[in-house]
Structure 1
Amino acid sequence: MRILALAWEFPPRIVGGIARHVGELYPEIVQLGHHVDLLTVEFGQTPYYEVVDGIHVHRVRVMPGHDFFHWVGNMNNSLGQYGGKLLSQEGPFDLIHAHDWLVGDAAIALKHIFRVPLIATIHATEAGRHNGLHNSTQHYIHGKELRFAHEAWRIIVCSRYMQQEVERSLRSPNDKVDVVYNGIRPEKKPNRSTFDYLDFRRRFAKDDEQIVYYVGRITYEKGVQVLLRAAPYIIKAMDRLVKFVVIGTGQIEPLKKLATDLGIQDYCCFTGFMPDEDLNLFQSIADCAVFPSLYEPFGIVVLESFAAQVPVVVSDVGGLPEVVQHRTTGIVTQANSSTSLATGILQILQDPEFAKGLVDRAYQDLQDRFSWGQLASETSNIYERIAKERQMVAW
């Protein structure tokens, strides 16, 4: 089958989890015999067209906008025009597969003009991110999501939690929504024998300090403030031999102020953006990964930590309890509770044998439930189902 995919981010342009999702899913889709053209946004000196792991990647120019929404409109205009030429000149295509509302306008237009079924992968919802809709901007995005979901032949989500959220928030019938987990390629992670482990580790902590880290976007919904509030309990229990490393960009200044107010600034390191090469090395030297989200549809960063063989502590929101099996592959704590989070982290830092068991079982779980090859086969089955249904209906 010929698939036209649309995503507003694709490596090396990485804004959130979508880039890694599409960058690892579609090579496996190609391996199954499908042809994939991916439309995405220009990035630096990256070629406007190249073949990456079998994916035909087309990067389009986007005119600057007065604000983010103006830019999104310009992006959809560029994606739509380029996609129209591609469908006209190289079609027919069997499916359009679009990722999130940001590329929804272009995907919907192409669907109607060329009469090609649309699959919508919805990675998160505006109502879920903000625990409701509280202003005109959120209502605007919600409206875009509603139409995106309505126009899709089928919807793919990353967890059973998200299936329920899409059904509730976007009014999509449950039997229109398929659950396909995110995945990971664990073989990409380095091990400590392949680099100067101690030299790299000393960039972040002393030899006798254990490293607790968070990686991801720095926003309120990610709950990093909960980790900082848990830190004083952990510092005391560990006799000060611990370092908290926060990796990512976003709302960092309020967190730095919170660390100062709590008197823990000397135990915290805010790295900002960290390139994937360094992040892979960092994960292999850390002692505990913490993801204390207040909202999380899935949590692909958890799988990254599984693959790096770092014990994981998460909150009990969204898809995280589906990914992490409590006390089997990680620790699940009460959301927005610094006391619960501190207790979970200390279980790992103070009991190395227990932590090792979590790591071993989590790594095996990657093969059992989160292999991209298996997840691509599930996605391909959805493609084939739609193709058969398409043949049975007039359009």
Structure 2
Amino acid sequence: MKILVLTWEFPPRIVGGIARHVGELYPELVKLGHEVHLITVEFGQAPMYEVVDGVQVHRVPVAASNDFFHWIVNLNESIGYHGAKLILEEGPFDIIHAHDWLVGDAAIALKHNFKVPMIATFHATEFGRYNGIYNDNHRYINGKENLLAYNAWRVIVCTDYMRREVERALATPWDKIDVIYNGIRPEKKKHQIDFDYWNFRRLFAKDGEKIVYYVGRMTYEKGISVLLNAAPKVLWEMGGDTKFVFVGGGNTDHLKRQAWDLGIWDKCYFTGFMSDEPLDKFQTVADCAVFPSLYEPFGIVALESFAARVPVVVSDTGGFPEVVQHTKTGVVTWTNNADSLAWGILEVLKNPGYRQWLIDNAYEDLERRFSWPKLAKQTEAVYQRVVQERSQIMWL
């Protein structure tokens, strides 16, 4: 098959989880014998065209814009123009695959103009992020999501939770939605051993302190304030011998103020953005990863911690309970409940044998449920179904 992929992020441009998803899924589809062209946004010094792990990557410029929504309009114009050029010069294509609403206008236009069936993957919804639609920006994005879901031949989501959400929030028929998990390449998460362990660890904590960390975006929906509220109880139970490290870019002023008001400022460290190499080392010295999200369609950060061999504590929101099996591959706590979160962290910190058992089970689960070669074959099956159905109709 010849597949045209549209995405607003692709490495080295990483905004959220989509970049990792598309960056790891499509090389596996190339290995299965398919030709993949991927259109995305130009970024820094990255080439406008290159072949990455067999995927033909086309980066397009986006005209200057007044605000984010204007930028999205210009983005779709650029992607649509280049997509049409590719279809005319390199086509025909069998499938167009759009990742989230941000590339929806281009995907829909290409679908109708060239009569190529389009598949849409929803990595999250605006309704889910805010637990409802409350203002004009929400309504605009929700409208774009509805339009993309309606125009898609099939819709792919990453968990059963997201299948229910898309059915409800985007009025998408249940039998139009396929569930395919996100995955990870465990070998890419290097378990660092060749470095000065103790001197590196001392950059973050004293020798006697356990390291509990969060890594990700510093946004409300990630529940970081819940972790801060849980910290005093953990510190009390651990005799003060714990350091809470927050890794990620974004505005953290309000979180730092919260830590100060709770009287735990000296036990918190906000690192800012951390690139992959130091993050790999950091995870080697850490004792517990915590992801207390208020909304989480999947939670690929949990898989990254599995691969890094760090025990995880998560909230029971969204797709987390599907990804993390409670008391087997991690500890699942009540969402937005600091006492429950503190209990989960203490279960890991106080029981080293249990901690290692969770780590071993989680690493094994990566191959069992989250292997990209397996997930690529599931994606291929969706493509084959759509191509077969498309061949049976006259598209006027």
Instruction: Give the match for residue 28 of structure 1.
Output: 28
Q: Deviations over 1:110-135 (max 9, x none)?
A: 11111110000000000000000111
Give the residue type in structure 2 aligned to 1:394: M
Say which SS state the counterpart of residue 14 (structure 2) adopts.
coil
Aligned partner of 2:311 in structure 1 is: 311
Alpha-carbon RMSD: 0.8
**Which residue of the partner structure matches residue 38 of structure 2?**
38
- Following the alignment from structure 1 to structure 2, what is the Cα–Cα distance between the partners of residues 64 and 207? 50
Q: What residue in structure 2 maps to residue 218 of structure 1?
A: 218
* SS of residue matched to 1:194: coil
- Contact 2:191–2:280 at 8 Å: present in 1 too? no
Match of 1:175 in 2: 175
- C-alpha change, 1:148 and 1:9, in structure 2 (3 Å) is same
Deviations 1:71-112 (A, max 9, x none): 111111111111111111110010000100000001111111
| Cα distance, 1:208 vs structure 2 | 1.4
Match in the other structure for 1:73: 73
What residue number does 1:57 align with? 57
Q: Distance in 2 between matches of 1:26 and 1:56?
A: 10
- Give 1:296's aligned residue: 296
Q: Match of 1:388?
A: 388
2:205 matched to which residue of 1?
Answer: 205
| CA drift at 1:140 | 0.6
In 1, distance between residues paired with 2:241 and 2:207? 9
Where in structure 1 are there 5+ consecutive unaligned residues? none
Distance 1:133 1:191 in 2: 42
Cα deviation 1:314-348 (Å, max 9, x = unaligned): 00110000001100000000000000000000000
Aligned to 1:82: 82
| Structure-2 separation of matches of 1:197 and 1:115 | 57
Partner Cα separation in structure 1 for residue 311 and residue 223 of structure 2: 18
Q: How many residues align?
A: 395
SS in 1 for 2:193: helix
Letter of the 2:126 partner, please give it: E
Instruction: String of CA shifts for 1:239-273, please: whole Å, max 9, x gaps.
Output: 11111111112231111111111111111111111
| Cα drift, residue 283 of structure 1 | 1.6
- Tell me if structure 1 keeps the 8 A contact 2:49–2:56: yes
User: C-alpha separation between the residues in 2 aligned to 1:197 and 1:36?
Assistant: 42
Equivalence map 1:156-175=2 (5 Å): 156-175=156-175
CA–CA separation in structure 1 for the residues paired with 2:181 and 2:280: 22
Q: CA deviation at 1:5?
A: 0.3
1:47 maps to 2:47:
yes
Aligned amino acid, residue 298 of structure 1:
F
SS at match of 2:50: strand
CA drift at 1:193: 2.1
CA contact (8 A) 1:192 1:285 kept: no
Question: Which amino acid is 1:17 matched to?
Answer: G
8 Å Cα contact 2:297/2:318 also seen in 1: yes
Gap change, CA 1:340 and 1:290, over 3 Å in 2: same
Partner residue, 1:346: 346
Deviations 1:204-248 (A, max 9, x none): 111211111111111111000000000011111111111111111
C-alpha separation in 1, matches of 2:113 and 2:164: 31
Secondary structure, counterpart of 1:58 in structure 2: strand
Cα offset, 1:191, TM superposition: 2.1
